[in-house]
Amino acid sequence: MFSKFLGLEPKRRNAILNAALREFASKGFDDASTNVIAKEAGISKPLMFHYINNKKDFFLFLYDYCLDILNREYFDQIDVREKDIFERLRQTCLLKIQVMQKYPWIFDFIKIAVLTDSDVIKDELKKRRKMVETSSFERFYGDIDTSYFRSELDIEKAKQLIFWAVSGYAGQIVDKLRSSDISELNFEKIRTEFDGYLNELRKTYYK
Amino acid sequence: MFSKFLGLEPKRRNAILNAALREFASKGFDDASTNVIAKEAGISKPLMFHYINNKKDFFLFLYDYCLDILNREYFDQIDVREKDIFERLRQTCLLKIQVMQKYPWIFDFIKIAVLTDSDVIKDELKKRRKMVETSSFERFYGDIDTSYFRSELDIEKAKQLIFWAVSGYAGQIVDKLRSSDISELNFEKIRTEFDGYLNELRKTYYK
DNA sequence: ACATTATTTACCTAATAGGTCAATAATAAT
DNA sequence: ATTATTATTGACCTATTAGGTAAATAATGT
């Protein structure tokens, strides 16, 4: 059905893709404008409609397509054998940044797709809803090794607090990713800064 | 200029106020709809325009008005003599929840007003911009007593991590505040849960 | 030179935007 | 009870934008 879109050269396909993800993610389905998407993708509206059929189908297609991308490039890449929470966080966060360099709005798009209550797409989404984690917390950090934790701690609370702390840092990075040009961001510097925070957390939570 | 609005009985005034804050905060100035605001406030559009003059002036009025509210009911209430970071966080967060029970969107509105780049209001906002903190971090947590911290810690990183962790918890509460009816929320339970997390943090970061 | 594909200009109808006018409903004053 | 006044709304204005398409043009391959 979306073979025309899929058959495009990657550069244009990704231009349309990212323009759409951004518009949908930041405005929601109903308020998103196909005019804006076309303009930001750098093509005319009729040409875009030549590729995408209509707004609704396009959104639903994007949902499936993005879940595939995320499964391939994110979820499947996570090494579940790593049981150290800080190593796991390091891995998942860096991976996430990597994915977001290619698709800056993909996570927000999925989040909005899951949480939306737009009448037009609600039912369709309900049908095809594979098990997508809303919190991303239990799925990722349910099976870590807690034996390193300082004994006087409440493990569940500690895990939650660590997760929130790291999310705070990640949120800051994401803001930077979006405001500055992605290419000119110093990835190496981010990594060492991030490791600094992770070490600090390790010092406080581990024996 | 907005004497008509200010002279309203508090119930209606707050209905319009909160409807407007919500619409502006969640859509931004340009995309916010006066139709939606009037409908959600429970009055007709002409009546609303009878009170508010026009969209632009209304937004700018709201900006000043909300800063006043925040100064009176939030910033001025913070006990700056309290130098313990966890006590300070406890205080500010509970205060914030209290303010948000009255005006659920006031913080988001100010944030959007500060960050917006709408051509219509940008210049006007620049003129009247009193020093509003963007990060809220330095202003609140610059002068706390760090002597309780475990000696091997990097103080600045630790403060930042604590702040992020607490923000994570606060964000969760705010989501609940918005989804459920505010009145039916168990404030007492939140307080004890919050204290639980603060204690956990104290255990990990203090000697 | 022709057939085909890629792309845009110009347009459609319906909805919504900010905003107002003139009429109605409610209240207060006589 | 009647009038004067205030509070409130239905109907409407013009401009813009929404999603979407038909037909013409530009580019490409044969």
* Interface with chain B: mutation pick from A164, A194, A198, A206, highest number of B CBs within 10 Å: A164
Q: What DSSP assignment string belongs to B79-116? A: -TT---HHHHHHHHHHHHHHHHHH-TTHHHHHHHHHH-
Q: Which residue among A160, A168, A203 places its CB closest to the CB of B167?
A: A168
Residues A91/A203, Cβ–Cβ less than 8 Å: no
Three-state secondary-structure class, residue A15 = helix
Residue-wise pLDDT for A99-149, tens only, equals 998 999 999 999 999 999 999 999 999 888 765 655 567 777 888 999 999
Give A207 to chain B, closest Cα distance, Å.
10
CA A35 to C1' D19 (Å) is 9
pLDDT at B180: 75
What's the CATH number where A61 sits? 1.10.357.10
Three-state secondary-structure class, residue B167 = helix
Q: Which residue among A31, A157, A205 places its CB closest to the CB of B197?
A: A157
**Range list of H helices, A32-54:** 34-41, 45-52
CA A32 to C1' C15 (Å) is 15
Nearest-angstrom CA–CA distance, B20 and B26 = 10
**b or e along A8-19 (b: 16 or more beta carbons within 10 Å of the residue's beta carbon)?**
eeeeeeebbbbb
Q: Which nucleotide is nearest to A58 (CA to C1')?
A: D19
Q: Which residue among A153, A165, A196 places its CB closest to the CB of B203?
A: A153
Residue-wise pLDDT for B45-56, tens only, equals 999 999 999 999
Number of domains in chain A: 1
Residues of the domain holding B176: 3-205
Nearest-angstrom CA–CA distance, A137 and B97 = 24
Nearest-angstrom CA–CA distance, B145 and B175 = 31
State CA B78 to chain mean position distance.
14
B197, closest residue in chain A (CA to CA) = A157
Give the number of other CB atoms < 10 A from CB of residue A21.
23
Residue-wise pLDDT for A48-91, tens only, equals 999 999 999 999 999 999 999 999 999 999 999 999 999 999 99
Length of chain B: 207
Q: Note whether B164 contacts A165, CB cutoff 8 Å.
A: yes
A27, closest residue in chain B (CA to CA) = B27
Q: Which nucleotide is nearest to A57 (CA to C1')?
A: D19
Residue-wise pLDDT for B120-145, tens only, equals 999 999 888 765 655 567 777 888 99
Q: Note whether B153 contacts A27, CB cutoff 8 Å.
A: no
